[in-house]
Structure 1
Amino acid sequence: MAGAPAYSMMIDPKPHSRAPPPPSPGFKMTTGDVGILKSTLLPSFSLYSGLSVAAYAVAQSTDRLEIKDWLWPSAQVLNAWLTAIGRPMYETGITFPDAWRGLTWSEKLLISGVTVWGTRLFARIVSRSLARGKDDPRYEAQKKEKGFWKTALFKIFLPEAAFLSFISLPITVPYSMGDTTLSVSTNTLSTVRALGVGLFSAGFALEIMADTQLELHLNEREDLCRYGVWSLVRHPNYLGDTLVHISFLLMNITDSFNPIVLLGPLANYLFLRLVGGDKKTEESQEKRYQQQDTHKYEQLCNWRGEKNSFWPSLKDLTNPWALAVVGCGLIGVVAEEIVRSSLTMR
């Protein structure tokens, strides 16, 4: 439409102080550029594998396999900041404030979301680990396998580093690309950004609610927690994590989008469902409850027949706790709009 402001100025104004990309061919790329492997996956895997080796050494020396879980959120936050801020500072010689000002609004939203999500999850994992004083019950049976620590680096730590490399694509690729490859209207991009912010807010709130309600329950009772957001699905914390990672994908669409970032939330979902999430958790619970607590085992069996492990049913969408989660998402959208508008008006 004639006279309408351009998308880059309407939604994600790119500051004039943004440093120009260096001549290195790996710093900016097109969708089909094979350099994406060199510029995103390989650096991520190098970072994660190095951190995994260090985590393995600590885990083996302390006999605490759960040390690898400390790495999961913290490594993603570190990778996001190194890619978005550290890399341009190193390659172009700009200062931290200039590197931050050079990010678009969507890029700032993305790295802020990753930081808030990862920091909270890291604090939760570490505090729970220190309070417990021993390894996570899910890992005790694994460690009893013959020669466990001799093969754990290659069977557990490095494979998880590979998964993280793919999961991190939405938080590394946008800082290594040019402008968006999608040709859609400004209104559509605004809607997508709002959906991304809403999903992040809802997923983040769901994780907090799930962890808080479970901790309060365990302090008062010894049976399974099946109220609050735990009345929606058997593993609301994993559902919240999935919503957060989908939101990272949506934030990509509003700025520098490359189809390869679709692998991020997909890899995260597959890991949570098939590798280290609800499947492993319930396998461990079933074995322990059968041997130690028949009441909990009966509860778990009945619960499986009533609730899905990951996705709520249609009737659960009217559950007050589902409405509370949706409400948190809407609050996030409104808050982001207010902050963005106030900063734009300055």
Structure 2
Amino acid sequence: MHVMPWAIGQGGQLLALWLFMVVVMTLGWAWQQRHANAGIVDVLWAFGLACAAVWMAVAGSGAPTARLLVGVLGAAWGLRLALHLWVRVRGEAEDGRYRALREHWQGRQWKFFAFFQFQALLVVLFALPWLAVAGHPAPAAWQLGLALAVWIVAVAGEALADAQLARFRNDPGNRGKTCRSGLWRYSRHPNYFFEWLHWCSYAIAAIGAPLAWLGLLGPVVMYLFLRFISGIPFTEQQALRSRGEDYRDYQRRTPMLFPWFPKN
């Protein structure tokens, strides 16, 4: 069976990334044992993706412009998110989602270890769109410009949503209440929406690449995870536990993910 040299090289890139993330997530698992705070996994996931973007750009074989886009934009997005999450993890008690998971698993650390290692695999999965872009031999100027424009809107929107929620949470008078101001008036999860939109920029940049279809994995897989698996379902279950009828009213009035005007 004939194997193309580029396929071997890309396989090596992904293997090296996975081994790196195994070490990172193992250290994170040990940290959460000492601090009883599994929220560190989200910090390391974002940090790992920032590292993955740089690695794909450095080891990629595509045009310098395509590799630069991946390295700069992917790293900037991942580091901003990692820093934002680290401030929360360092300064607050364990997120209610993880407290519920800890109770459900009865503190079994082997389950937490498996969970952390699963996140290592997810970093590799979400690095695939960057692999496609970094291997693009000649991206058009229009698609790089459009990808950059979408990225700017997405990252600015996510940062604004995070800042609005942090300001709301920091007011003791809002304890037990639901944020309905700013972007949170138009979506129950505007931060998730802009995180999903961010991945669309790489799908645009991958158009015409040999592995262009991998670029679509970002928005498709991220939507599936946010909507059905680890994003919105866990977040809303915790919101209902902590805010009850106030959050049920918010659910009835406000769109779930994609922003739109609330119902009266």
State the 1:40 CA deviation: 4.8
In the alignment, does 2:200 pair up with 1:246? yes
Percent identical among aligned pairs is 23
In the alignment, does 2:2 pair up with 1:51? no
Among residues 53, 61, 69, which one is paired with 1:109 in the alignment? 69
- Relative to the length of structure 1, the TM-score reads 0.67
State the 1:36 CA deviation: 7.5
Instruction: Report which of the two structures shows the higher radius of gyration computed on alpha carbons.
Output: 1
Q: Provide the rounded CA distance (Å) in 1 between the counterparts of 2:113 and 2:187.
A: 33
State the 1:103 CA deviation: 5.3
State the 1:280 CA deviation: 0.7
In the alignment, does 2:101 pair up with 1:142? yes
Among residues 179, 191, 194, which one is paired with 2:137 in the alignment? 179
State the 1:275 CA deviation: 2.5
- Which residue identity is paired with 1:274? F
Residue matched to 2:164: 213
| Kept in 1: contact 2:187–2:257 (CA 8 A) | yes
Residue matched to 1:76: 49
Which secondary structure does the structure 2 equivalent of 1:168 belong to? helix
Q: Provide the rounded CA distance (Å) in 1 between the counterparts of 2:184 and 2:107.
A: 37
Q: Provide the rounded CA distance (Å) in 2 between the counterparts of 1:243 and 1:252.
A: 15
Among residues 108, 118, 122, which one is paired with 1:159 in the alignment? 118
Residue matched to 1:307: 254
Which secondary structure does the structure 1 equivalent of 2:170 belong to? helix
Deviations 1:234-267 (CA, angstroms, capped at 9, x unpaired): 0000011111111122122266653233223322
State the 1:37 CA deviation: 6.8
| 4+ runs deviating over 6 angstroms | none
State the 1:125 CA deviation: 0.7
Structure 2 stretches lacking a partner, 5+ long: none
Deviations 1:193-235 (CA, angstroms, capped at 9, x unpaired): 3331221111111111111111222233312111111111000
| Kept in 1: contact 2:187–2:254 (CA 8 A) | yes
- Which residue identity is paired with 1:164? V
- Relative to the length of structure 2, the TM-score reads 0.86
Among residues 193, 218, 239, which one is paired with 1:285 in the alignment? 239
Query: 1:219 and 1:62, CA in 2 relative to 1: closer, same or farther beyond 3 A?
Result: closer
- Which residue identity is paired with 1:311? F
Deviations 1:159-193 (CA, angstroms, capped at 9, x unpaired): 22222211111123333x3625xxxxx9xx44433
Q: Provide the rounded CA distance (Å) in 1 between the counterparts of 2:253 and 2:132.
A: 40
Query: 1:262 and 1:41, CA in 2 relative to 1: closer, same or farther beyond 3 A?
Result: farther
| Kept in 1: contact 2:46–2:79 (CA 8 A) | yes
Query: 1:192 and 1:135, CA in 2 relative to 1: closer, same or farther beyond 3 A?
Result: same
Q: Provide the rounded CA distance (Å) in 2 between the counterparts of 1:80 and 1:226.
A: 34
- 1:26-37 equivalence runs, <5 A: 26=5, 28-29=6-7, 35=8
RMSD: 2.6
Structure 1 stretches lacking a partner, 5+ long: 1-23, 30-34, 89-98, 181-185, 290-296, 317-346
